[in-house]
Amino acid sequence: MDNIILSQLYSLLIFTITGIIIGVLFDIFRILRRSFKTPDIITYIEDILFWILTGIFFIIILFKFNNGEIRSYVLLGLISGIVMYMFIIRNRKRI
């Protein structure tokens, strides 16, 4: 029984880290978008491409660490990782 709980906690940690990585990738994408001005149609294509690549990254991690099973703790970890990145890491004041 303890092994199952540890496995789920490990998955929660992995998907929290995955959420943080997705947040970092989104920031890189946002910085690149502001650096290079493009027409609206190119921006839409870039958005679609970003979400397709992010989805592929998530699916690869999901199959590698959780046998492709989407559980509530997987979604909780992913969302908490993105939120942690947005509110804690991204908004840190520089010293």
Domain spans of the chain? Answer: 2-89
d(CA 87, CA 64): 28
DSSP 70: -
Model confidence at 89, pLDDT cuts 50, 70, 90, reads: confident
pLDDT, tens only, 25-77: 998 888 888 888 888 898 899 899 999 999 999 999 999 999 999 999 999 99
Task: Work out the burial of residue 5: count CB atoms within 10 Å of its CB; fewer than 13 is exposed, 13-18 middle, 19 or more buried.
Answer: exposed
pTM, to two decimals: 0.84
Helical residues (DSSP H) of 36-71, grouped into ranges: 40-66
d(CA 17, CA 14): 5
